[in-house]
Amino acid sequence: MTTTVLITGAAGNMGRMLRPLLRRSDRTLRLFDIAGITDLDPTEEYIQGSVTDRAAVARAVEGVDAIVHLGGLSTEDSWENILAVNVDGTQAIFDAAVTHGVTRVVYASSNHAVGFWTHDESDGMLAGDVAPRPDGFYGWSKAAGEALARLYHDRFGIDVVNLRIGSSFDRPPNYRGLASWMSPADTARLIEASLSDSAKGFHIVWGISANTRAWWSGAEGETIGYVPQDNSEIFADEFLRDHEWTFDDPILQRAGGAFCDHPLGQRM
């Protein structure tokens, strides 16, 4: 039996990275993005549109079995833009899921939903479902998305996994990434776990690899079957040539790193 999984924001960095890793002979990936996508695999289909266009969202959601909601602004931006895309757009996805009977949503949240939590407050490992402490309008929008997810789970029984993603790239983007990195392969493993029967219910989990320097707990991820395999330590020598690894550094001390100091509403 073939299942259909909708990926919103499929033309973005994470969407492009995940597409080849999530392809299965018994799975159709429906790709949704405002940007054009032309390099379709035979197991993929594409619908162009924005999460701010509810008619387009409805077309994208109709007939799918699950939604991986990556779409939205991925850094700090104006209050108006953040509300329109990240909050109203996320509500449109959940509303369409209810209308079309979709029972599973994987929501791409962010470490910036809890960016003001510190290493010193974590007792060594910050829980995946710790209370929100956003570090900007972007982080607030991700916390708001988690709250929307909770509402739609409690009201309508939608199974939701909220992924508090660290730094999901081919390699850590900077020395902070030695703690926050999630490799492409581990990102795919986390998505697969989030789509599995083990992930029924409501969950908030960290999206990171098995990093030696991590201080964000993997316990919540383990409950849905996420077992990361990669470790950022292979990049440590490169990044620590110019930086000392110390939690006296506010970039490392705070979950949100430099976002905690970035001006509110100023596009990055």
Does residue 266 fall inside a structural domain?
no
User: In Å, what is the CA distance from 142 to each residue of 89, 97, 148, 202, 254?
Assistant: 12, 19, 10, 16, 17
Is 175 tagged catalytic?
Answer: no
* Residue 32 β-bridge partners: 8, 47
Q: Is residue 132 part of a domain?
A: yes
Q: Which residue(s) pair with 67 in the sheet?
A: 6, 105
Residue in 138, 152, 175, 226 annotated catalytic: 138
Evaluate whether residue 216 is within a structural domain.
Answer: yes
Which range marks the domain in which residue 51 is found?
3-261
% residues pLDDT > 70 (the chain): 100
Q: Is the pLDDT of residue 124 over 90?
A: no
Kindly state whether residue 267 falls inside one of the protein's structural domains.
Answer: no
Cβ burial of 138 (10 Å; 0-12, 13-18, 19+) is: buried
Of the two residues 243 and 120, the one the predictor is more confident about is: 120
Overall number of domains in the chain: 1
C-alpha atoms less than 13 angstroms from C-alpha of 19 in its C-beta half-sphere: 22
**Does some domain include residue 268?**
no
CATH number at residue 95: 3.40.50.720
Residue 11 within any structural domain of the chain: yes
Hunting for tokens 């999206």 — which residue is that?
207
Tell me how crowded residue 252 is: count the other CB atoms within 10 A of its CB.
Answer: 22
Residue 192 counted as domain residue: yes
Q: Report if residue 28 sits inside a domain.
A: yes
Tell me the pLDDT band of 123, cut-offs 50, 70 and 90. confident
